[in-house]
Amino acid sequence: MLKLLRVNLDKQNWAFEQLSPEYEKLGGRALSSQIINKEVPPTVDALDPQNKLIFAAGILAGTNFPNSGRLSIGAKSPLTGGIKEANAGGNAAQKLAKLGIQAVVLEGCANSLTTLKIDNDGVSFTEAAPIKGFGNYQIIEDLKKEHGDKVSIISIGSAGESRLKAASISVTSPDFHIRMAARGGLGAVMGSKNIKALVIDNQGSKGVEIKDKATFKTAVSKFTKGVLAYPMIEALKVFGTPVLVNMINGMGCMPTRNFSVGQFDGAQKISGEHIAELMAKRPNSVADHKCMSGCVIGCSNVFTDEKGEVIVSGLEYESIVLTGSNCMIDDIDMIAKINRACNDIGVDTMDVGAAIALAMEADILTMGDGNGALALVNEIREGSENGLMIGNGCKVTGEKLGSKRIPQVKGQGLAAYDPRGLKGTGTTYATSAMGADHTVGNAIPNPLSQYDPSSPEGQWEMSSFLQIYHAAIDSLGLCLFASLPALDFADLQGHMVQGVAAMTGETLDKDYIMQLGTTVLKAEKEFNTKAGFTKEDDRLPEFFKQEPLLPSGNVFDVTDENLDKVNAF
């Protein structure tokens, strides 16, 4: 049984704890959300030392179950004021699990900027003054030199230190590229605790115990085969998530010019197909990069310039759209540079991309001005008035600029799917405890389903199901893409359940996934209710209901009555 590692930052001490009955059998988002709901005062300021920052490994972490190393990071969010879980790839979760740690709970606040090292001997604390103000790329280089290349590094850039509401947390991939737990401003919570970085080193650890190795091996093998046979997986391997550009643009649902149009004239220049062509010609580019060991898909990439210098890894659909089409920028190299700057400073490309579009709409810079957008992002680092504005995300930016068209729910910017054409996704944006988020229940139609995303009917049912399902997937620590095939093929869900049962020795039935997901959502909703959220917070901004999305003419017309039915436990 894995343990909880509690770190008291005020006193610089730590202790391992057995998981109490209310936490045992949980991992990932289920565990982080349960801890926040039980232990964080719901109305406390998110940057108060009473907030806790949790790094939770998924239930399957540390094993060779495919794509099972996502790290869930949870806290009360400074961006939304509600409960938050943001997860990232990389190797940190697998290393924590191998060290026997299901979750690390950071409590209180260090007296000065500190780096934590977690290894087989426990926790050590180091003064981080020498790396104060550093960007994530430099921190990773320095800490890798100091601790070797077998570790995983979790860090914040200057935005987290400055406690900006769009600050993210970086987690390294096995080859030390950056993966981001981007959403909800959790980097600001880490900054408020005076923690600059965590170094996770599992050398000498025992690894994770599997109770029934033979059955586990069978589950791994059948699940892997099923995932690889799924039609969409091949496209993800070849083009990565940017394959969605042509698909979502073709549906007329790709946010363009601050969510005013659903199709972008420059889509081809930012598409997965074009990126793949460029990468094929550029030295050192990698089209099927794996963000964690044990990934069987490789949807990530390493995007280089013409000389072979790495610009960014991975260049993802969400970042491309929010800092690209949504700002009318069609230069993929410039988008990659903006992405790199956001990664270095440690801010969410989605919230900051939406903020840049609002600044463009307010004539602070010209729509489509890539150089201006990059300079504005770099102003976050410098701490200028406009830099601090966009570093606090799209809600703060829109309100400061007097915009009536702020694409946010519960303070968090919408992801890269327009809710007027993708109404199931819009229903999730509106009703999730997390604020507008694409990983918590994104209803994208696929060729195997009859689902109509543009009808107002059937969306609360679709969103309810997907929100429960993805809450469970986030708790297992599985990557979203490995979990998609199981939506169409129930036997793959069975292999997931079989994998957990074989690992833990429990007897689990076929309802395990939905029961686990329901537990998570109940805890999250309970916390938000205690924090003061009401049904009125489960709504999209008015402009999505009133402004037709061109070219389809769709508006978001799922009724409030149906929104209120979503997971009304």
Answer for the pair 421, 554: CB distance below 8 angstroms, yes or no: yes
As a whole number of angstroms, the distance between CA 508 and CA 102 comes to 20
Q: Give the phi and the psi of residue 143 in degrees, each rounded to 5.
A: -70, -30
* Rounded least distance, CB 530 to ligand SF4, Å: 33
Q: Tell me the C-alpha distance between 467 and 472, whole Å.
A: 9
Q: How far is CA 423 from CA 293, 325, 333, 553, in A?
A: 35, 20, 32, 13
Closest approach of Cβ 317 to ligand SF4, in Å? 11
Residue 31 or 297 with smaller CB distance to ligand SF4: 297
- What is the nearest approach in angstroms of ligand SF4 to the Cβ of residue 229? 15
Q: Establish how many alpha carbons lie within 13 A of residue 263's alpha carbon, considering only the half-sphere containing its beta carbon.
A: 12
Residue 551 beta carbon to ligand SF4: minimum distance, rounded to whole angstroms: 32
- Beta-carbon contacts of 568 under 8 Å, excluding residues fewer than 6 positions away, are none
Q: Which region, left, alpha or beta, applies to residue 71 given φ > 0 means left and ψ of -120 to 50 means alpha? A: beta
Cβ-contact 386, 359 below 8 angstroms: yes
The smaller minimum CB distance to ligand SF4, of residues 93 and 123, is found at 93
Least distance (Å) between residue 114 CB and ligand SF4 = 29
Least distance in angstroms from the C-beta of 332 to ligand SF4:
19
Give me the least distance between CB of 175 and ligand SF4, in Å please.
12
Strand pairing class (3-8; 101-107): parallel
Q: For residues 299 and 377, which CB has a smaller minimum distance to ligand SF4 in the complex?
A: 299
In angstroms, the CA 178 to CA 141 distance is 11
| Cβ distance to ligand SF4 smaller for residue 68 or 567 | 68
The footprint of ligand SF4 (CB under 6 A) covers 67, 89, 290-292, 295, 297-300, 479, 481
Structure tokens at 51: 């907030």
Query: How many whole angstroms separate alpha carbon 74 and alpha carbon 78?
Result: 12
Look at residue 132 and give its three-state secondary structure.
coil
Q: How many angstroms separate the CA atoms of 196 and 154, rounded?
A: 8
Structure tokens at 337: 């540079």
- The distance of closest approach from Cβ of residue 299 to ligand SF4 in the complex, given in angstroms and rounded to an integer, is 3
Judged by beta carbon, residue 67 or residue 504, the one nearer ligand SF4 is: 67
Minimum distance of ligand SF4 from residue 481's CB (angstroms): 4
Nearest approach in angstroms of CB 69 to ligand SF4 is: 7
Helix or strand run (H / E) with residue 245 = helix 244-250
Closer Cβ to ligand SF4, 2 or 484, answer by number: 484
Amino acid, res. 222 = K
Cα–Cα dist 21/158, whole Å: 39
Residue (59 or 292) nearer to ligand SF4, CB = 292
Q: How far apart are CA 174 and CA 297, in angstroms?
A: 15
What whole-number distance in Å separates Cα of residue 175 and Cα of residue 118?
19
User: Shortest Cβ distance from residue 183 to ligand SF4 (Å)?
Assistant: 15
Return the number of the residue (373 or 484) whose C-beta is nearest ligand SF4.
Answer: 484
Q: Which two tokens stand for residue 417?
A: 């799917």
Give the phi and the psi of residue 413 in degrees, each rounded to 5: -65, 145
CA 339 to CA 80: how far, in whole Å? 23
Closer by beta carbon to ligand SF4, 71 or else 299: 299
Which residue lies nearer to ligand SF4 by CB, 264 or 481? 481
Q: Give the nearer residue to ligand SF4 in terms of CB position, either 68 or 397.
A: 68
